[in-house]
Amino acid sequence: MRSSLLMSAAIFVGGAVPALANDELMGMMDDPKQWVIQTGDYANTRFSELEQINKENVGDLQVAWTFSTGVLRGHEGGPLVVGNMMYVTTPFPNVVYALDLNQEGRIVWKYEPQQDPNVIAVMCCDTVNRGAAYANNTIFLHQADTTVVALDAMTGEVKWTKQNGDPSAGQTNTATVLPVKDMILVGVSGGEYGVRGHLTAYDMATGEQRWRAYSTGPDEEMLVDPQQTTVLGEPIGENSSLESWEGDQWQLGGGTTWGWYSYDPELDLVYYGTGNPSTWNPSQRPGDNKWSMTIMARDPDDGMAKWFYQKTPHDEWDYDGVNENILVDQEIDGEMRQLLVNFDRNGFVYTMDRATGELIDAKKYDPAVNWATEVDLNPESETYGRPQVVADYSTREAGEDTNVEGICPAALGSKDQQPASFSPETGLFYVPTNHVCMDYEPFRVSYTAGQPYVGATLSMYPAPDSHGGMGNFIAWDARTGEIKWSLPEQFSVWSGALATAGDVVFYGTLEGYLKAVDAETGEELYRFKTPSGIIGNVTTYEHEGKQYIAVLSGIGGWAGIGLAAGLTNPNEGLGAVGGYAALSEYTALGGQLTVFALPD
Amino acid sequence: MMRYPHAPGALLTVLVLAASAGWSQETAPSSDPATAVAREENGRYYTADDIPTFNIAEDGTVDWLTYSGFRRYHAECHVCHGPDGEGSSYAPALKNSVNRLDYYDFYGIVAGGIQNVDAGHNNVMPAFGTNVNVMCYLDDIYVYLKARGTGALERGRPAEREDKSDAIREAEESCLGA
C-alpha cells in the first residue's frame, strides 16, 4: 500500500529518474494534493491551488481528525503529505511519525533519536524544530543536536547520519532542510552563543559534505569571489567581511542561518538570510559586521555567492535577518520582474530583483516602525541601500549601560520566522506580524564557549498609541508598497500563513485559534480553538478527493517565552491591574495536529 | 559571616553599621526575616543570616544590586524564564523559585544546572558556573528575584536606584577579570 503511493508520485512525473534538477521532487511540489517540503514550494509562496474549501463554504469547516504528538514543547513547522503518507515532526526529542492516511492515520513508523538532553540547555528560546523535508523516497531531518539524518520514507530506517555542528559550543538546529538537486542544504543556530553561521550542502544519497559557506570571515570560507560576487550591482571586493569587524570578533560573529531557504530552478540560485551579529552589544563590534543580516544568493552546485545584500549593517537591535525570501514574478512600473520579497525582522519589506540583487523597493510594513526613517534607494547616494537610522533609537550612539526607550519593532521583529504566504490570484502577500516595541540597554559581556553571549537587556511591550494588541495579520501589495488590510490581534501572530485558490487565507493565533479570512477583504470566515497556541504553519492537502487543512498546535518558542506572562502595557500606569495580557491565561502546553475538512 | 559565596572582591568589604547608611529610616518595613535588611555593607544589603537581600525605599528607589539584577536577569535568564521572573511556556517562574529555594540552593542550581527529563518533561537548565556574565552577578539576580517574589518590586524596570558603590565596582571588575 505504501509503495503504491510513492509509485503514484513517480507516475505523476512520468516515472523519471531523478535528474540533476530533481524533476521528480519539483513535480511533486507542483501537485497541490501533496505538501512535500515545509515551504510547500521552492518559491516559499505557501500557496495551494486547491479550491474545494473556498470562501463560500469555509464557514462549514469541521475537525476531521486529530493526533497528539506526545511532546509538550513549542511546535513550529507543519506536517508533510506525500501520496497517502503524512509525516509529522516534533520539537526535541525530534520524533518523526509516518501516518498512513489510507488507514485513518495509523502510525506506520516512528523515529525517535537519542539526543543528549544537554543540547536543550543551549537552545535559546525553546526546542522547536521547523520540520522535515521529503525528496527521493527519503525524509530528511536536522535534529536539535545538529545531526542531519536521512530516513527511508517507507520504513523509517536510517540511511545515513551526519554531524553538522558541535552543541557543546552552542551550535544547535531549529530549521528545516531544503532538498535541491541531489543535495540537501542545512543551516545552524546559536547566534546568542557566539556561533559563526554557515550554510552546508550534503549529498542526498550518502551524506557526504559538498560545500560549506560561512557568513563571516575570509572570502574563501564565505565562498565569495571578490570580482564575480556582487553587492547592489557592484563587485563585492576582497576581504569584505574581515574589514567590517574589529579584530577577530567575526569568529564569534553570529550570522547564523536558522531561517528558511528558497530556490529558483531557472536561475539556479538558492536564497537565505543570515542572522544577527554577536553580541547584542554593538559597542563590542564596531563596523558593518558583514555579512550578518544579509540576504544571500548562491549557486547550489558549489555554493559560490552570486550576490549579497545587507539589510541592517551593524545591527543595534537584534533584527535577526533570517526571514523567508518569497520568489514571485510581478509587474512593477509596467515591467514584469523576477522578484524576491523579504519581510525582515527590522520592519522593512525588501523587494529585490532576484537575478541581479538590485534593490527595487524597501518599505515599512508596520506603521509603528521607528528605528529608521527609510532605506536609501538612490543608487547615486553614498548610503545607497542603507537604513537611515534615527539617532534617538540608536543603541550604539547611546552607548553601553544606557537604556534606549521606545524602539519599534522589538527584537522579535515586526515579523519573526513565521512565514508569510503569497497568492498569485490576488497578487497579495499575507503576513503574520508582531506589533511590539522595546527598551534596549546594551552592556559589555565576556565570551565563554557554549555559554550565552547576549550583552543587552530588553523590555518589550505592545506598540504604544495603537490598538493595544501585540500583533496584526496583514495583506501587503508589493506592487504599490502598501498595506491592503490589517487585522489586529491580541497577541503576536506566530503561525505561518496559507493562501489557497479558494480565495481563503488561513493562519493560527497564539491563543490557539485557526482562522480563515477572505483573501480580498480580510473578513473573518471561520475560527476554531485548537487545544494549544499555534506557532506552526498551516498546510493543505487532498486525499481521496477531499481537501484537508492541517495545523500543529503547541505553544512555545520565543512567543511562549516572551508573552506567557504578558507584557507591560505602556498605556497604563506601572502596576495597573489588568495591565498585562498574559498568554498563560489563554493556553497551555501540548502538541497536537488538528485536521479540518468540509462535512460530507 | 563569610559563609555565603559571592564575588571574590566582596571579601575585601568592610563592615559598615546599618545606621551610618541611613537605610533604617527610609526602608519600607519588612518583618520577614528571610528578606529584612539587617545590615548594609558598601551598598550591599544583608539579612540577619548574612544572606544578600534587596533594599527598596518608600519612594521606590532600589539598591544597586536589585537594579543590576534586573538588567542581568533580562540578559541571561529572560530568554528561557520570561520577563520579570514571571516564567514562560519553557521554564518556571524564578520569582517563585527563590521563595521555595534558599540562597545556597539557588547558587548551586545556577552554577551546576538542573535537569528534569522523563516521559513527560524535557526541562534542562545549563550550568552557568563558568560564565562570568552570570556568576559575577549572582547576588544581583538573586536579590532582584527576591524583590519580585515578595511583591516588593513591581514588574518592569525600576525607576530609581542607588548609585553603584566603589566596592561593588571593584568587586565586579575583579570578578570579570577586566
In a domain, B32, yes or no: yes
- Is A318 among the residues known to form the active site? yes
Number of domains in chain B: 1
Alpha carbon distance A399, A283 (integer Å)? 7
Domain ranges, residue B61: 8-176
Task: For residue A293, give how far its alpha carbon lies from the nearest alpha carbon of chain B (Å).
Answer: 21
State residue B7's pLDDT score: 41
Residue among B70, B71, B89 with most chain A CBs within 10 A, to mutate: B89
Residue among B59, B62, B73, B90 with most chain A CBs within 10 A, to mutate: B90
Domain spans in chain A, listed from the N-terminal domain onward: 32-76+417-435+470-600
State residue A569's pLDDT score: 55
State ipTM.
0.81
Alpha carbon distance A342, A352 (integer Å)? 8
Alpha carbon distance B130, B117 (integer Å)? 23
Task: For residue B130, give how far its alpha carbon lies from the nearest alpha carbon of chain A (Å).
Answer: 7
What type of residue is A216?
T
Q: Tell me yes or no: is domain A32-76+417-435+470-600 CATH 2.40.10.480.
A: yes
In a domain, B154, yes or no: yes
Task: Decide if B5 touches A, using CB distance below 8 A.
Answer: no
- Phi/psi for A273 (5° steps) reads -115, 150
Partner-chain contact B124 A565, CB within 8 Å: no
Partner-chain contact A561 B70, CB within 8 Å: no
Query: Can you give the pLDDT of all 600 residues of chain A as single tens digits?
Result: 344 444 344 334 444 444 466 899 999 999 999 999 999 999 999 999 999 999 999 999 999 999 999 999 999 999 999 999 999 999 999 999 999 999 999 999 999 999 998 898 888 678 999 999 999 999 999 999 999 999 999 999 999 999 999 999 999 999 999 999 999 999 999 988 889 999 999 999 999 999 999 999 999 999 999 999 999 999 999 999 999 999 999 998 899 999 999 999 999 999 999 999 988 999 999 999 999 999 999 999 999 999 999 999 999 999 999 999 999 999 988 999 999 999 999 999 999 999 999 999 999 999 999 999 999 999 999 999 999 999 999 999 999 989 999 999 999 999 999 999 999 999 999 999 999 999 999 988 888 888 888 889 888 888 998 888 899 999 999 999 999 999 999 999 999 999 999 999 999 999 999 999 999 999 999 999 999 999 999 999 999 999 999 999 999 988 888 777 777 654 444 333 334 578 888 999 999 999 999 999
User: How sure is the predictor about B30, in pLDDT bands with cuts at 50, 70 and 90?
Assistant: low
State residue A67's pLDDT score: 98
SS3 A366: coil
Q: Which of A121, A122, A459 is the closest to B156 by Cβ?
A: A459
Q: Which of B89, B90, B131 is the closest to A451 by Cβ?
A: B131
User: How sure is the predictor about B148, in pLDDT bands with cuts at 50, 70 and 90?
Assistant: very high
CA–centroid distance for A103 within its chain = 32
In a domain, B15, yes or no: yes
* Residue B13 confidence (pLDDT) above 50: no
State residue A174's pLDDT score: 96
Q: What is the pLDDT of residues B86-121, one digit of tens each?
A: 998 889 999 999 999 999 999 999 999 999 888 777
CA–centroid distance for B125 within its chain = 18
In a domain, B2, yes or no: no
State residue B123's pLDDT score: 86
In a domain, B1, yes or no: no
State residue B1's pLDDT score: 35
Q: Which of B75, B87, B134 is the closest to A456 by Cβ?
A: B75
DSSP track, A193-250: GTPPPEEEEEETTT--EEEEEESSS-HHHHT--TTTSEETTEE--TTTTGGGSSTTGG
The catalytic position among A318, A320, A344, A503 is A318
- Residue in chain A closest to B176 (alpha carbons) equals A446
Look at A180 and B6; give whichever has higher pLDDT: A180
Alpha carbon distance A317, A441 (integer Å)? 10
Task: For residue A190, give how far its alpha carbon lies from the nearest alpha carbon of chain B (Å).
Answer: 13
